[in-house]
Structure 1
Amino acid sequence: MQGLIGKYVRLTDRLSDYVGYLAASLIFFMGGTLIFDAVTRNVVKMPVHWAIELTQFTLAAYYFMGGPMTLKNNDHVRMDLFYSTLSERGKAKLDLVTVFCMIFYLGVMLAGGISSLAYAIATDERRFSIWNPSVIPIKSLMVACLVLMMMQAVALVFKHIATLRGETQS
């Protein structure tokens, strides 16, 4: 792929990789938070009420941020009833159909995410707990990651079209 489309695909792929690797590092943060919670609760006998909830928020961020890289690397789950028997062009045709379904789904998710974020901002939405954290940061991250997933899905459309045209992808 050359020109503007090629630059778009490469930029989106790099951004997806960066966000995906950042997401992978969140595992260590979650582990540390859970160990800290276990030590303060069981050894020091002074529980921290925010650790489990912070871990839940971090896990949500992990899933959101891992989505674009999963799409880019084609690591998502697929029902492989006959897909593996198709030629590269056949796979590209089928992938092109399914990527448009995914774009529709992501569009609906994005519209709902934006609506949910707008509500959270307007009402200063918070979790009902002792810690009482704002949900605006996690909802903002959700919307940003849905936008990146949509960008990655569009990049996949360009990649599948390039495959159908017999172009090599760099």
Structure 2
Amino acid sequence: MSVSPRRFVAAIDAVNYRVGRVAMYGIFVMIGILLWSSVSKTFFLPSMWTLESAQFAMVAYYILGGPYSIQLGSNVRMDLLYGTWSPRFKAMVDAVTILFLVFYLGVLLYGAYDSTAYALKYSERSPTAWRPLMWPIKLTMCVGISLMILQCLSEFIKDILRIRGEEI
């Protein structure tokens, strides 16, 4: 395979590796928010921003860490048959099934883009008492879904290389 797809794979893997490594510290942000929530409810007045902030932190953690998870191969698979297959046959099955995932993510990105555009245009706010703006988390979702699509394309190229018997 030419150098161009290999550069694409290397670039996407590098970006998603770095984003994933940063996103994995989001769990500590969420822990801090929930710890403050517990402390403030016990000793002070309860904060009305903690639950929603924790939810936003969890969404960012999950959506930005997804491509890194795919890259590491730590996504969930039905290993009943998959574990017994040869690496080449696994690559063939993965190359077909990843196309379904890319289609699903494309539909998801389309909806996320529309929702983000709406949130930006109308300054959409959450219907809770805190009423935070919704566009930051929706934009994070668009970025995360886009990175996931790019990582899926990277994995697809790696599967094609495995099928051809080439070194990755």
| Equivalence for 1:116 | 115
| Equivalence for 2:85 | 86
Q: Secondary structure of 2:111's match?
A: helix
- Work out the CA distance in 2 between the residues paired with 1:80 and 1:113: 32
**AA at the equivalent of 2:150:** M
**AA at the equivalent of 2:23:** A
**1:37, distance to aligned residue in structure 2 (A):** 1.5
TM-score using structure 1 length: 0.95
For 1:28-57, what per-residue CA distance to the aligned partner results, in whole angstroms no more than 9, with x for missing partners?
A: 1111111112112102x2221111111111
Q: Which runs of 5+ in 1 are unaligned?
A: none
- Work out the CA distance in 1 between the residues paired with 2:35 and 2:102: 39
| Equivalence for 1:162 | 161
**1:81, distance to aligned residue in structure 2 (A):** 2.3
- Work out the CA distance in 2 between the residues paired with 1:134 and 1:154: 32
- Work out the CA distance in 2 between the residues paired with 1:27 and 1:84: 31
- Work out the CA distance in 2 between the residues paired with 1:38 and 1:82: 45
TM-score using structure 2 length: 0.96
| Equivalence for 1:42 | 42
- Work out the CA distance in 1 between the residues paired with 2:46 and 2:60: 24
Alignment map for 1:60-99 (pairs within 5 Å): 60-99=59-98
- Work out the CA distance in 2 between the residues paired with 1:2 and 1:47: 59
- Report whether the alignment pairs 1:127 with 2:134: no
| Equivalence for 1:144 | 143
- Work out the CA distance in 2 between the residues paired with 1:75 and 1:153: 14
**1:111, distance to aligned residue in structure 2 (A):** 0.7
> Once the two structures are aligned, what percentage of the paired residues are identical?
38
Q: Secondary structure of 1:40's match?
A: helix
Q: Secondary structure of 1:47's match?
A: coil
- Work out the CA distance in 1 between the residues paired with 2:47 and 2:83: 50
Q: Which runs of 5+ in 2 are unaligned?
A: none
**AA at the equivalent of 1:87:** S
- Work out the CA distance in 2 between the residues paired with 1:82 and 1:27: 34
> Structure 1 stretches (4+) deviating beyond 4 angstroms?
none
**AA at the equivalent of 2:26:** L
